[in-house]
Structure 1
Amino acid sequence: MRGQGPQDSGISGHDKRARTADRPDYAGSRRVRLRIAAGAGLACYLSSTILARAQDIPKAGFDAFGDTAFGASEVIQIATFAGVMGAAMVSAIWLIRERGRIAAENLVLRERIAELNAAVQRAEAMLTTKDQRTVVWSGERHKPDLVGTLSAAPGVPDERSSFLAFGRWLTARSAAMLDNAIAALRETGTSFDLVVEAQSGTLLEVLGRKSTSHAIVRFLSLTRRQTEHAALKADHAALAVDHEAVLALVASLDMPFWLRSETGRLRTVNAAYAAAVDCDTPDAAIAQGKELLATQARENIARQHLTEPALHRNLPAVVDGDRRLYSVTSVCANGVAAGLAVDKSDIEALRAEYERTVKSHAETLDQLSTAVAIYDADQKLRFFNQAFQKLWELDSAFLEARPDNTMFLDRLRSDGKLAEQPEWRRWKENLLSAYRAVEPQEHWWHIPDGRTIRVVASAHPQGGVTWVFENMTERFDLESRYNAAVRVQGETLDNLAEGVAVFGPDGRVRLFNPAFIALWRLDGAEIGTNTHIAKIRDACERNCPQSPWTDFVAAVTGFDDERLETHGKTELVDGTILSYAMIPLPNGQVMTTFVDVTDGVNFERALQDKNEALQKADQLKNDFVQHVSYELRSPLTNIIGFTELLMMPDTGPLNERQRDYVDHIASSSSVLLTIVNDILDLATVDAGIMQLEIGEVQVTRIVGEAAELIGEKLREHQIAIAVDTKEAPPSLHADENRLRQILFNLLSNAANYAPERSTIALTCRMTGDQVEFRVHDDGPGMPPEILDAAFERFEPHANGGRRRGAGLGLSIVKSFVELHGGSVEIDTGEARGTTVTCRFPVAPKGVRAAAE
C-alpha cells in the first residue's frame, strides 16, 4: 500500500519470520547451510571413528613396521585431515548444486515481482481513471491512506486533513451520518451505501466495505442521472423523517386522528381515536373498522369533499356512553382523507353555564336601585336595568334597539340631560377610552337639573364596558352640612403648629390635631376619638421615659376642687424638646398644648459646641502641620536620598531587577512626597500661616517651565501640548513657585483625562486687568454631580481617567489662586472636553496671607 512503511504493516515479528521462511530464496539458503553443517558433521564423525580405531591398535603392531611405523598421534592427524577434506568436498559439491537451483528460483521470483508491480500499477490507474477518492484504514493505530481525487466535485477539499474533517465541508446532517457509518464499519464491519451532500450542494456517493485487515471507504462523484436519483433519494429520506415526526406528533395528541384510503377505509389512527372507540390499540381499531362518527356524518363529509378539500364541522359522537360534541376538521387530497376531532363538550357546557350566569346576574341587577348598563365590544347596548331607564327617563323602544354608546351620549345631550362641554368631541372620546383601559375609570357628571352622578366604567376582558351610574346628590348634601359643622372646629386646630389635645371628664379624647401626633411620634392607629388618656400615656412614654403624662392623667381623671394650669418642658428620646401647658376647660374638660422648642435649645447648645470644636480643630490643625512636616516628610526625604545614593555608580553595581525596584521606590516616594507636600500646603493655607513671596514673574518662562515639567508624562501617552502666549503680558506679580505649581497641577489633571494622541491647549492672555491662564483637554468631560465636588479635597473621580489620585490637585489650584486674589472657573460637558480657567490680577493691591 502506498504511503505505508514497514512499521505500519501491522504484522508481528513472529509472522514476519514465518513469511520470510516461506520465501524461496530464504528456503534455498537455509538448505545450503543445512548441507554444509551435515558435511561438517560427517567429517567430524569420520575423524572420530578413525581416532577410535587408532586407539584400539596395539603398540606391538606399530613396532612391526620397523623404523617406518606410525605412532598414534600421526594416525589421528591423518584421520582428521581425511575427514575434513571429505567433508569439504561433499559441501562443495552440494553448494554448487544449490547455487544453480537458487539462481533458477531467483529468476522465477523476479518475474513474479515484475508481474505484481504491473498489477499494482494497473490497479492504481483504474482507481484514478474514475473521479473517485478512496480512504483505507489498515489498523486501529494507523493513519488512513488516501487514493484518487474528486476534482470534478466542487466544494470538496483536496488537502488530506481538510478532506478527513468531514464536518468542515459536508452539511451537519451528512457529516454526522457519515461519521456514524464509518465508526460502525471499523468496529463491527457493517457495510454502507450513502449519499452525502457537501456544503456547496454537491452530492457524493459513499461506499464502505471491510476486508480482513482493511476498512475501505470510497467517495464517488455522481453523473447527472445519478445526481438526480441521489437528490430524489435524499428528498425521500427527508420526507420519511418528516413523515415519522408527523406520525409521532399525531400519536401523542390527546385528540382523535384518522387517515382514510381512497376506498374510505381507515388506514391510520392514533391512540386517542382507539380510546374514543373503546379499542385497546390503534391496530385493533383499524382491524375492527371502528368509526367515531356516525354513518350519515361520514357520508356528508365525503360528498362535501367533492367540492371542498377542507371542512370544519361540529358533529356529535358517543364516547364511553356519553354524547360528546366534537369540532371536526377534515382534509381530502388525491382521494386520501385525514381528520382531527377536538372535544368541545366542556366548552359548550361552560358556554351554557355562562349564559345561565349572565341571565341570573341580569335578574339581580334589574332589582338594584343603582343604574347599570352593559355594552359589548362593538359598543352596543346589551343590557340595562330598570334603574338605568328610570334615571335617564328614556323610552324602552330606544333602549331595546341596542343603540351604541356614542348614540346614547348624543341622545342625553340633545335631551338636555348632560351639561354642555367646551369640547364635546374630545370629552366624548375621553369618556369612551374606557373600552381600551385596563383599570376602571371614574367620572363625575353634574347634570343641569342639579343632580351629581358618579359614573364608573369597568372594561371586560372579552371586550365591552359595564357602566354604573350612582346618584350621589343626597349623599353630597349630607356631607356638605356635616363638613361645614366640622370645618369650623377643626380648621383652626389643623393649621396650628402647636399640638393640641382636649380630654373629657371621662379621660377620653374629644379633639386633637395632626401636630399633636407628629410632635409625640404617634401612630395614627394608636389615637383616635374616644381614645383613653391612659393609652395615650403608654404610647407617649415610649418616646419620653420622663414624661409629664402621669401628671396629665391625674389632672384629667382626678376630682380636685381646684384645677391649676401647668407649664414645663420635656425631652424626647430623639432629642426633641417640647414645651407643654395643661389648661383646664369648662365642663370638666382639659386642654393640653405642646410646642417644639428644640431649635432654640439646640441653637444655644450648638453655639457652645461649635466654639469648643473650633478651638480643638485649630489645635489639631497646628499639630497636624507639625506632624506632617517632621514625621512624614523627613522620612520620605531620607528614602529619596538613599534611593538616589543606591542608583549612583559609586555605591556599587545593581542588576536589572534591583535597578527596576529602585526606580519604582524612587517614583513612588516622589509621588508620596508630592501628596505630603500638597497636604502640608493645604494645611498651611487653612491654618492661615502661608505667606506668598510676591515678585515679578515672566509669563513666557513660567509657562515653558510648567510644560517642561509635564513633558515626560505627555510623551508616555503620546499627548502633545500647544502653548499660546501671543496675547499674554510680559510679566505679572505673583509667587513664582506657587504659580508654577498651579500650572503643573492643571496640566497633570488634563494629561490624566486627555485621550492618547490628542493635544492639550495651554493659553495665556490679558483680559482687562487680569491675566488668564486656560488649560483645555479633549477628555470625556465632567458630569454635573462630579463638577459640583471638583474642588473638594480628597474627592478623586476616575471618570475615564488613567489613574485615581489623592483628589488634591484642583483643591490646591483653587487655594493658591484665591491666595493671589484671583478666581478659578471650570467649563466642561460631554463630548466637548474640560477647560479650567485661572484668573490672576496683574498687580494685586493687597494679597491675602491665607485663603478664607
Structure 2
Amino acid sequence: MGLERTARLAARVGALVVGALFCLGAAWAAPADPAASLHMHGVAGLSVLGGLLAFATILSLLHLRERARWTRRDREQAAALDALRGAHDRAEMLLNAERQIIVTWNARSEPVIEGDVGLAFDGRSAAGAARRVLAFGSWLLPADAGAIEAAVEALLVRGTGFHLALRSQDGRSIEAQGQAVAGRALLRLRETSEERREIAELRETLDEARRGVAALAALLDAIPQPVWRRNREGGLAWVNMAYAAAVEAPSREAALDQGLELLDRPARETVAREDIARRGAGPAVARLSAVVSGSRRVLDVFESRADTGRVGIAVDVSELESVRADLQRQMNANVRTLDQLPTAVAMFDDRQRLIFHNAAYRQLWDLDAAFLENRPSDGEILDHLRAQRKLEEHADFRAWKQGVLAAYRAVEANETWWYLQDGRTLRVVADPNPQGGLTYLFDDVSDRVNLESRYNALMRVQAETLDTLREPVAVFGGDGRLTLANRAFSAFWRLDPELIAERPRVEAVIEACRRLAPAEEPWLDIRDRVVGLESREGLACRLEVVDGTVLDCTAQPLPDGATLLTLIDVTASVNVERALTEKNDALEKAAQLRDSFVHHVSYELRSPLTNIIGFTQLLGDESVGALNVRQREYSEHIMRSSGALLVIINDILDLASIDAGSLELKREMVDVPATVEAAMRGIEDRLAESRLTVQLDVPAGIGSIYADGKRVRQILFNLLSNAVGFSHPGERIEVRARRTATDLTLSVRDHGIGMPAEVAALVFDRFESRTLGTRHRGVGLGLSIVRSFVELHGGRVTLESSPGAGTCVTCSFPLVDPEAHVEAAE
C-alpha cells in the first residue's frame, strides 16, 4: 500500500516536471529578440533546469526516505493483518462450532448477520434467509416473537441487555442473548434443544435420586429401630428419628450436633472387634446392652462398611429374650403338665431314640425307669414289651413291627388300635415331628369302648320301649333329621316306612303330617324348635286333626342337640273344656245382662222416686193444705223411706259405674276436718233417734288431701251408717283421723255387738247383709261401695271385729302430689 502511494507521488512529480518543461518550451517559443531571447531563455532555462534538478534530487531523497519508512510500516501492517486474519479464522471457527447466529448493529450501518442462518428455519435454505432471520414472527411462536422484538428494540434504543428462552414454530428451543459491546448492539441466537433435553434428563434423574433418598429417609424415620451413619472418622453423620428418641435428643440435628452415642465405648469397641473378625465379609453383629429412652434394653447391633463410612442399625430384642425365657419356662411347664396327663406320651428323635416320656407312659407299660433313662430305641421297646407279653399276639411280629416303625417315614399322623392281652384297648396316634422323629400318644379307651357298648344296648332298649308306647313319639337329631320314630307315630300320621328309613329332614316329615293336620302355624313353631339356632327352649302347642282328634304336642330340646317330639290325645279333655268354656261364657253373658238390667232399672226407678220425694216435701210443708197428725206422720215415713231408697239406688248406680269402668274421680284439695263434719251432718237425725254419741279425734293441723271430696264424704257416711246400725242406744262411736308421711287414715269404731271372723270375711261382698241380732237390715252395699271408692283412690280398707267388742273399719288414702298426678295423667 505504501509502494502504491509512492508510485502515485512519483507520477505526480513527473507530471509536474513535464508540465514545467512544457511551460518552459512555450516561453522559449514566444516572439522576441532572438539573441536576448536566446540569452534570456538560456539563462532562464538553466535556472529552471537547475531548480528542477535540485527539486528532483530533493524529491528523490525524500522518496527514498519515505520508501524505507513505508517498507517497515508495511511489514508491521502485514504482521498485524496476519494476526487479524488468524483471529478472524478462530472467531469463525468458534462461531461455527455450534448452531448460532450473530447479529451486530452500529449507529450508521445495517445489521450484519453471521453464522448458521438455517437455525431460524431448521436447516432449510431459502432466498433471503439471512434477512428473514430478523423477521421473528415468521419462525418463532407469536408470544416469543413479540417478546424478542421488544427486547431488540430496547437494546438498540437504550442498550438494555436481555436473555430470553424462545420456542420456534417447529418446537425447537432457542436461546436469545442481547448486549451492547464497544458501541455496537450484539444479538446472539443459539439452539439449545439438545442441551435442554440433556438437562431435563439430568434433572429428572436428579429428582428421582432425591425422591429415592427422601423415601429412604422417610422409611428409616418410620421404622422404630435406631439407624445411623458414620463418616470415615467414625463420627455420626446421620441418624433417624428413632435414634434421636433413643438417646432422648429433642431432634435429629441436636443428636448430631452433640454427638450423642447410643452405644457406650466398650460396646462400640465390641462391634469394631467383630467387624475385624469378619474381615468385611458381612455386617458386624453383636448382642449388647444399652440405655434406650431411659431404660436398659438388649439390642442386636448390625454395622457394615459403606463408601463414605459405616452404617448401622440396632434391633430391640428385649421382648424376644423375655419371650425366649417364657418359652423355656412354658416348655418346662408343658413337661410337668404332660407328666400329669392320663394319656401316655413318648417322643423319639430322628434316630428313633427315646428322648421324652411322661409318667403315664411308664405306668401304662410298667417299664423300669433305668431302662428308659438309657434312651432305648423304639424297636428295642417293642421287643421288650413283646418279651413281657404285654402286646397283642401277631402271627408275623416282624412285619407288624415294621408297619409300626413305618410311621417315621409318614408325613401325616397315623391312628391305630392295639388290643392288649389283658383286655385293654389302646388308641395309638403316631404323629411325625417337623424336626424329625415321632411322638406317640397312647390313650386307654377301654372304659369308653365298654361304655359305648352299653350305650348301644341301652339305645336298643329305649327304642323297643318307645315302640311299645301308645303315644306318638319322634326324635330329631341336631341336623334336623328324623333319628327315631315309634310305631304309634308312624301309624298315626300314616308315614311310609321307607321314608322313615331314609332319615328325612323335619320339613319332609311336616309336609307328610300336614295332610292330616293342615294348620300351618303349629308346624312352623315345631320346625323352628327342631332346626332353629336362636332358641333352644321347649314348646307346647295344639294340633287339630281333620277327623276331630286334638293333640297336645310338646317339643323338648335334648342335651345332645336333638329334639324330642311327643303327642298326647286330649280330645276328651278338650271337649269337656269346650263345654265348660261355653257354660262360663253363658254365665258371663248372664252377669252382664244382670248388670245392664240393674243399671237400667236403677235409672228408671230414680225418676219416679225423685217425684215422690218432691211431692212428699210439698205435703210436709203444708203448702197445698193443712195435714192432721196422722197424715204428717205418714208423710215423714214416706220421706224417710224414699231417702233410704234413693241412697240404695245411688249405691247401685255407683257400683254399676265401677263395674263398667266409667266412674272417674274428680280430685281436688279436700279439707279433712270439714269433710268429716259434713258426713256427720248427714247422719245427725239417725244419731239423735238412736241416742248415740260421736267422739271426733281429728287433729286441727291434719290439713287437706288431694282426692274426690264427694266420694270421701260418701265413704264416711256409709261407715257411720254401718256403725249406727250395729250399735245399741247410749253407746259411743269414735271417728279418728291420722296423717303420716305417706298416708291419711280415717277410721270409724263402734262398740256394738261385733261379728265373728267368718262373717267379717264376707261383709265387703255385695248384697251380703246380716242382722247379727240387731234391728239393722240393709241391702249389703255400704261396705262394698266403701272398698270400691277407697281402692279407686289407690288405698286399702281393713276391718277389725270380734263378738262383743265392736267393729273398727280403717281406710287408708295415699298422699298424692297434685302436680305429679296431673303429669302422670297426661
Q: Same fold (TM over 0.5)?
A: no
Scaled by the length of structure 1, the TM-score of the pair is 0.34
Query: Which protein is bigger by CA-based radius of gyration?
Result: 2
